[in-house]
Amino acid sequence: MIAIKRYIMNKPSALGIIIALITCFAAISCTKTETTETQHSSAINDLSTHPLYSTYDFGAKDNIIDLGSQPLGVPIGVISELMNRDNILKESLSTLGLKLRSHPFFKGGDINYFLKNGKLDIALAGDMPMIAAAATGKVIVLSLAKQQFSSLIARDSIPVNELKGKKIGNAFGSSAHYSLLLALASADMTEKDVTLVKMKVSEMPDALANGNIDAFVAWEPTPTIALTKYKDFNVIHRSINTSYLYVTKDFAERHPRAAQLIAAAQIRAMRWMDESEENLLKASELQLKTSQKFSGYPPVLKTATNAALIKNGLSAITAAPFIPEEYYKENGRLHREFIFIENLGKLPEESTWENAHRSFDRNILIQIMKDPAGFRINEYDYNLI
């Protein structure tokens, strides 16, 4: 080593070559990253060529109701799982000559893509994609499907202010991203005080364990998976994020009854899981299987743990999943999230808060809650096989 050093110091040309090589490698790395980002952007921009999504058989016929779901999400993944197995829904829709077809997606943004181009009719997604869709004025948000925490995980139990200058894994533009901003704000910091590292939520726990990042922010079940896998990880901040059931305006206008039946199926599923621990565990089990099939990876969480997450996400909304008016009032939670996404430049030009505000419709739920018997929200018939 000493000889090499001496050689390099005595040979300026050698030193220059080494510096040039290092520069090239760095440039290549950046290019590769950019390429990856470009590919990712391409993926967002043109999901029709997505290797998985492009295989989906979206209902070209009018009698198919295409539901975009997120099997990996908790608890919306289990809600969609139960809806798929809901015989009462199936029967009710069949009387209308309709049929539900569920399409799994990795994230809500992907769902919005197909929602926008008419491939999907219904979406179960997080608050960020919901706001993005609602701001176009082309969807109706029916109900609250989750109220759960997004978590900021670090290796050590340190206050948020000690993340200054550190690298934080982040799913850009997601509700977790918004949660990160809240966390930084609580410590009088902004994004400029940290280094955000764009990455998929599934990659975050290992990246933190390997030291590639100093912390990450994600929605469930990723934080729970991380804490389960790596015992020394610590949650250093959490904040509420929500998920919603929303339909296209076109669908609601064409099939108002079907929209109601879909919403009722959500309520039914939530009440069924709330009715007993056994139901909850069963639902958890089914969801884990579906997620494994979708992701190709075995589930990290145990059924019970997953069930606890499900319960946690639904506990506040079990009775009736109304979207609290406080959420979408001026300067309410959803309004602040709208501003956040808008500032990120993630909203289409025609997006306005007024559109979003007008998208929230409690009437469908009110109608359902007024006629629980008619919508059979307290009856359960699930295909659990």
Partner 1 sequence: MSKTPASGHKVMFTHIRTKMLVYFSILFISTFLSIEIINIFGLPFTAFKGDYAVEKSKSFKNLNLIADLEKEQILKWLDKIKTDSMTIAESPMIINQIKTAKQDIKELQAAKPEDDDIWNEFSKRPSYIILLQQLAIAKKAYKIYKSLQIIDSETHQILVSTDRNELGKTAYNDPALRQKMKYDDIHITPHIHDPGQSSGALTLDIHKSITDNRTHLAYLDLHIVSEKLLKQILLSGEGLGVTGETLIVDENARPLAPLKYKYTENRIRSKPALLASEGQESFMITTDYRGIEVLAAYRYIPLTSSFGWGMVVKQDREEIMSPIYTKIKHSIYLTLAGVIALAVFTAMIARNLSRPIVQMSRTARAIKDGDLSARVLVDTGDEVGILAETFNSMIQQIQDQNADLEQKVKDRTTRLDLANTELIASEERFRAIFEQAAVGVAQIDSKTGTYCRVNRKYCEITGYSPEELQRISLAEITHQDNIEIDRRQMNDLLEGRIREFSHEKQIAHKNSSVIWVNVTISPMWKAGADPDYHIEVLEDITAAKELEAQLLHAHKMEAVGQLAGGVAHEFNNILTAIINNIYLMQKKTDSDGPISGHIKSVMELSNNAARIAGELLTFSRKQKYAFSAISLNEIMQSSEKMLHHYIGADIDLQINFSDAALPVIADKPQIEQAIMNLATNARDAMPDGGTLCISTAQIEVDNAFAKANDLEKAGIYAVLCVTDTGKGISEINKKKVFEPFYTTKAVGEGTGLGLPIIYGIIKQHMGCITLKSTEGKGTTFCIYLPIKEQADKEAASISQSAQKGNAETILLAEDDESVRKSITTILESYNYKVLAASNGLDAIKLFEENIEDVKLVILDIVMPVMKGEEALQTIQGMKPDIHFIFTSGYMPKFSDKTKSINADIPFIAKPIIPDKFLMMISKMLKKQSTEK
- CA atoms of 42 and 293, how far apart (whole Å): 25
Distances (CA, A) of 251 to 42, 119, 377: 28, 11, 22
CB of 157: closest distance to partner 1 in angstroms?
5
Q: Is the Cβ of residue 264 or residue 286 nearer to partner 1 in the bound state? A: 264
Nearer to partner 1 by C-beta: 109 or 321? 321
| In the complex, least distance from residue 319 CB atom to partner 1, rounded to whole angstroms | 4
Our CB check for partner 1 shows the closer of 145 and 262 to be 145
Q: How far is the CB of 287 from partner 1 (least distance, A)?
A: 21
Of 331, 320, 333, the C-alpha closest to 362 is 320
Q: Are 131 and 334 in contact (CB under 8 A)?
A: yes
Cα-to-chain-centroid distance, residue 180? 15
Nearer to partner 1, 107 or 333 (CB): 333
Structure-block tokens of residue 176: 């977790």
Residues in touch with partner 1 (CB under 8 A): 144, 147, 149, 152, 156-161, 182-183, 186-187, 234-240, 315-327, 333, 365-366, 369, 372-373, 378
Q: How far is the CB of 369 from partner 1 (least distance, A)?
A: 5
Token readout for 73 is 């999400």
Is the CB of residue 127 less than 8 Å from the CB of residue 244? yes
- Rounded to the nearest whole angstrom, what is the least distance from the CB of residue 22 to partner 1 in the complex? 22
Contact 337, 131 (CB under 8 A): yes
Nearer to partner 1, 41 or 378 (CB): 378
Report, in Å, the least distance between residue 156 CB and partner 1: 6
Q: Which is nearer to partner 1, 195 or 202 (CB)?
A: 195
As measured in angstroms, the least distance from the Cβ of 372 to partner 1 is 5
For partner 1, the closer of residues 254 and 329 by Cβ is 329
Based on CB atoms, which residue is closest to partner 1, 159 or 256?
159
Q: Whole-number minimum distance, CB 292 to partner 1, in Å?
A: 30
296/2 Cα distance (integer angstroms) = 49
Residue placing its CB nearer to partner 1 in the complex, 318 or 352:
318
Minimum distance of partner 1 from residue 175's CB (angstroms): 12
